[in-house]
Copies of this chain bind each other. A is one copy, B any other.
Amino acid sequence: MYRFGILGTGRIGDMHAGLVDAQADASVTWCFDIDRARAESTAARVGGRATSDVHAVLDADDVDAVLIASSTDTHIELILLSAQAGKPIFCEKPIDVDLAKVEICREKLEDFDVPVQLGFNRRYDPSHREVQQAVASGEIGPLELLVITSRDPSPPPRPILEACGGLFRDTTIHDTDMARFVLGDDEPVEVFAMAENRVDPIFAEFNDVDTAMIVMRSESGALIHINNSRRTSYGYDQRVEAFGAEGMVRSENCRPNEAVRFSSAGTGRKDQLLHFFIERYKAAYEAEIRDFIDCLKSGKAPSVTFEDGRRALILSEAALRSTRENRPVIVNYAPGA
Q: Could you list which residues of chain A lie within 8 angstroms of chain B, going by C-beta atoms? A: 22, 24, 45, 126-127, 129-131, 134, 139-142, 144-145, 147, 149, 151, 190, 192, 194-199, 211-215, 217, 221-225, 227, 229, 231-235, 237, 243, 245-273, 326-328
Contacts and interface: CB of A to CB of B under 8 A. Distances in A.
A269 to B, nearest CB: 4
Nearest to A268: B270
- Pick from A129, A195, A272 the residue with the most CB of B within 10 Å: A272
* CB-based closest 9 A-B pairs: A247-B263, A130-B259, A126-B257, A234-B262, A269-B269, A248-B262, A127-B258, A127-B257, A266-B269
A200 to B, nearest CB: 10
A330 to B, nearest CB: 10
A223 B213 contact: yes
A259 B127 contact: yes
Contact of A250 (B198, B248, B255, B260): B260
Contacts of A213: 145, 215, 223-225
A215 B190 contact: no
B328 A264 contact: no
26 contacts: A22-B22, A126-B258, A127-B257, A130-B271, A140-B263, A141-B233, A147-B225, A151-B243, A192-B194, A196-B221, A196-B222, A197-B221, A199-B245, A213-B223, A213-B225, A215-B215, A233-B262, A235-B267, A246-B264, A247-B261, A247-B262, A247-B263, A250-B260, A255-B267, A267-B272, A327-B327
A326 B259 CA distance: 34
Contacts of A328: 192, 194, 326-327
Contacts of A248: 232-234, 237, 261-263
- Pick from A225, A229, A269 the residue with the most CB of B within 10 Å: A269
